[in-house]
A = this chain, B = another copy of it.
Amino acid sequence: MSTERPGFALPLLLLAGFQTLVDALHEELAERGHPDARPMHGFALQAVGGGTTAAELGRRLGVTKQAAAKTIAALEAAGYVERAADPTDARRVVVRPTARGRDLLARSAEIFDELRTRWVRELGEDAVRTMEDALGRVTSGPRLDAPSWFTR
């Protein structure tokens, strides 16, 4: 008969795991030329992708276009994106990552790979795969609307 484990530990462990990874990411990012990148930057930049508009970004992040516009302003001030008028539609202002923005995304991907490798060394490939597979089954795809989610 198996020990009854309390259910409340699971969410705390998942959150702690996420925090651990993101904290480690930003420690490494700081040492690789992005000392003032913040979790929100990476999320939003990921959602910007190759280029979008404020309204579209809002839809991707699950927030209003006004909120997206503020995020874009912050990202622009940080030098991660630039804005340019769309010649084919005078209403639109296209947002694209700068070279520095693309560098941030590339470094992040690289660091996340290293962190996964670190977990594999610590826990074994099987455990990590089991975790990934299990979470993939009980969740409905990766959601990008994290920044706003908690206080909702």
Contact = CB atoms under 8 A, between A and B. Distances in A.
Interface stretch (A12-20, A48-56, A77-85): A12-20
A18 B20 contact: no
Contacts of A2: 125
Contacts of A128: 10, 134
B123 A7 contact: no
Count of identical protomers in the assembly:
2
Q: How large is the interface on A (under 10, 10 to 19, 20 to 34, 35 or more residues)?
A: 35 or more
A6 B113 CA distance: 6
A127 B135 CA distance: 10
A9 B141 CA distance: 10
B112 A11 contact: yes
